[in-house]
Amino acid sequence: MASSIALLHSRPLGSFKRIAQILPGLLLLAAVGYAGKSLERSFAAFGKAHHLTLPNIEYVLWAIVIGLVIANTTGVPASFKPGVATYEFWLKAGIVLLGSRFLLGDVLKLGGISLVLVAIEIALSLLFMTALGRAFGLKPKLTTLLAVGSSICGVSAIIATKGAIDADDEDSSFAIAAILALGAIALFIFPLVGHWLGMSDQAYGLWAGLGIDNTAEVTAAGALYSDAAAKVAVLAKTARNAMIGFVVLGYALHWARKEGTEGVANKAAFLWAKFPKFVLGFLVISAVATAHVFSKDQLTSLANLSRWAFLLTFAGVGLRTNIAEMRKQGLRPFVVGALGEVAIAFLTLGLVFGAEKLLR
Amino acid sequence: MTHQHDSRTKKENRAAPKFSLDAWAVTLALVLSILVWIGWIKHIPW
């Protein structure tokens, strides 16, 4: 993600040069995503033609698996990496467009419930991860990064916190690697547990939105379950993302006090800078759709645009997951992260079952 | 010293992003929505 941000901000380069840098990787994202979509159809058609009962493997899974195979066999060539890194951009554009599928009333109701659950989840996760980091003797700033990454929103939260608390590059690489590895595992485990427990789309979506770290993995885990679950998962995760500024501000003040450095002068400006703006875009599109500005066909087109954007995202999730790189980062941060993730998954599952009555 | 400070400030100003990744994503999504609404984009298949 950092490289995609850097790329969009690399002002000295001309626009054409920037497009040329992005294009190969973007085409790879499109090819992998489209291959996943085609494989879903072909696999189903093969089963039908040969009278075989094959499981319905969604394009989401195909796209991620193809990406994983490429990234961990031939590897992604350097010239493709800037374009592959744009998957985060497509994810955010897709979420904004997904707003057209929500009525503002539903957003406020479900978002309100999500916010309450998110507040509980964040408080408990931060406390648990901090205690776990201390117990395993991790460096305090690495513990902070892991706590923020697993309680709020993965890589974005780690990058935002790294700058705010002046953490080492090495610590943030550790934390990012651990969170990405755990996100990739959760992406496959959550749908299995959800089906095993017979969870409703809404309950599962809420659980995925609260329990999985990265927005891309949340969206994929939701889509692997059902379309309706993906909608709820994205909404719950969006509510979680909206809290990022408050938590990063809290840690920035904590570390400034601890190290006797200068704190945050303008807290409102800090909060605004850290606030994920795509949340506002999502709300705007939802409000416009609620006002019946779009016809039914237009809403279908917007929903399909969102699907195409997510298709690029799912391809990117697979392509950026390099297992060998993750192994190099060491075991301890991963173990702390894994223990924390399991605890958070149980905690959020309990919260979701508790809140299910409110959702009905 | 002042000159040095000025040049650093200029450099920082030049490096400061005008638009964040989020803002670009929101802009693209809003532009696409408008194009769909005014009928420039008729139908997006899946």
**Do residues A179 and A213 make contact, with C-beta atoms less than 8 angstroms apart?**
yes
- Provide residues of B within 8 Å CB-CB of chain A: 14-15, 17, 19-26, 28-30, 32-33, 36-37, 41-46
Which residue on chain A is closest to B37 by alpha carbon? A294
Helix (H/G/I), strand (E/B), else coil: B26: helix
Cα(A225)–Cα(A142) distance, integer angstroms: 33
Burial letters A256-280, b for 16+ CB under 10 A, else e = beeeeeeeeeeeeebeeebbbbbbb
Query: What is the 8-class DSSP label of residue A137?
Result: T
Least confident piece of the model among A19-33, A127-141, A184-198, A289-303: A127-141
Answer yes or no: do A89 and B33 touch at CB < 8 A. no
B29 closest CB neighbour out of A8, A276, A285: A285
Within 13 Å of residue A253, how many CA atoms lie on the same side as its CB?
10
Q: What part of A 1-40 touches B (C-beta under 8 Å)?
A: 1, 4-5, 8-9, 11
B14 closest CB neighbour out of A11, A294, A302: A11
Q: Is the pLDDT of residue A83 over 90?
A: yes
Q: In sequence order, what DSSP letters do the residues of A201-251 get, joined into one string?
A: HHHHHHHHHHH-SSHHHHHHHHHHH-HHHHHHHHHHHHHHHTTHHHHHHHH
Least confident piece of the model among A56-65, A77-86, A121-130: A56-65
Chain A residue numbers with beta carbons less than 8 Å from the beta carbon of B34 are none
Helix (H/G/I), strand (E/B), else coil: B44: coil
Structure tokens at A247: 């938590």
Q: Please state the φ and ψ torsions of residue B22, each to the nearest 5 degrees.
A: -60, -45
Q: What confidence category does residue A333 fall into, taking pLDDT thresholds of 50, 70 and 90?
A: confident
Give the position of tokens 């499109």: A30
Q: What part of A 94-133 touches B (C-beta under 8 Å)?
A: 96-97, 100
**Do residues A216 and A316 make contact, with C-beta atoms less than 8 angstroms apart?**
yes
Helices (DSSP H) in chain A: which residue ranges? 2-9, 15-49, 59-72, 81-84, 87-98, 104-135, 140-148, 154-165, 169-196, 201-211, 215-225, 227-241, 244-259, 267-274, 278-290, 296-319, 323-328, 332-359
Q: What confidence category does residue A11 fall into, taking pLDDT thresholds of 50, 70 and 90?
A: low
Helix (H/G/I), strand (E/B), else coil: A346: helix
B25 closest CB neighbour out of A11, A92, A297: A92
Give the position of tokens 């508790």: A354
Q: Is the pLDDT of residue A319 over 50?
A: yes
Chain B residue numbers with beta carbons less than 8 Å from the beta carbon of A277 are 20, 22-23, 26
Cα(B29)–Cα(A286) distance, integer angstroms: 12
Cα(A23)–Cα(A41) distance, integer angstroms: 27
What pLDDT sits at residue A171?
A: 76
Distance of CA A335 to the CA centre of its chain: 21
Least confident piece of the model among A54-58, A227-231, A313-317: A54-58
What pLDDT sits at residue B8?
A: 43
Q: Is the pLDDT of residue A305 over 90?
A: yes
Helix (H/G/I), strand (E/B), else coil: A11: coil
Q: Which of A58, A97, A279 to mutate against chain B (most B CBs within 10 Å)?
A: A97
Answer yes or no: do B26 and A277 touch at CB < 8 A. yes
A305 closest CB neighbour out of B15, B23, B44: B44
Q: Which of A26, A58, A96, A292 to mutate against chain B (most B CBs within 10 Å)?
A: A96
Question: Interface pTM (ipTM) of the complex?
Answer: 0.74
B41 closest CB neighbour out of A96, A284, A301: A301
Cα(A211)–Cα(A208) distance, integer angstroms: 5
Least confident piece of the model among A112-121, A202-211, A265-274, B1-10: B1-10
Ordered by start, the domain boundaries in chain A are 92-359
* Side chain identity at residue A147, one-letter code: A
